[in-house]
Amino acid sequence: MRKSALLICLLCPLAMFAKDKKDYPLNGTVVSFHSQAEVRGSGDENGSSVDTYHRRVYVIKTETGTLEVTGWENGFKARKRPPLAVGQKLTYRTDGKYIYTVLDDGKEHRFYLMSATGNDAQ
């Protein structure tokens, strides 16, 4: 009885720190990508402070539509992540604002969902 109680006391903290296994139920294939420029800043009589940012936008064909995603999030450069390749197959999950996928480096990466067409737009 004491050994059982001790074993439970030792295993409970381990269970609390165990990560939930994430599910990636959706599938897609990268079919193309393009570059998109965004100009930010303003000019005035004392000079201008204008910056141009370029982002790579990936087009992903899914079973029910098309997604456009980028590694650029809310105007700030996202963490370094491996680039996607045309023809690359993805399994992913989404919260409606981002898609999450595990890439070849074994880590989960987040891409900003810029647009969705077909049934993916819902």
Tell me the three state secondary structure of residue 16.
Answer: helix
Model confidence pLDDT, tens digit, residues 53-109: 778 899 999 999 999 999 865 445 555 567 899 999 999 999 999 999 998 888 888
What is the per-residue pLDDT for 58?
94
What is the per-residue pLDDT for 20?
63
What is the per-residue pLDDT for 36?
85
What is the per-residue pLDDT for 121?
61
Q: If you average pLDDT over residues 14-18, what whole number do you get?
A: 47
Model confidence pLDDT, tens digit, residues 29-50: 999 999 888 777 776 666 677 7
pTM over 0.85: no
What is the per-residue pLDDT for 6?
45
What is the per-residue pLDDT for 117?
92
- Selection from 115, 122, 113 nearest residue 92 by Cα: 113
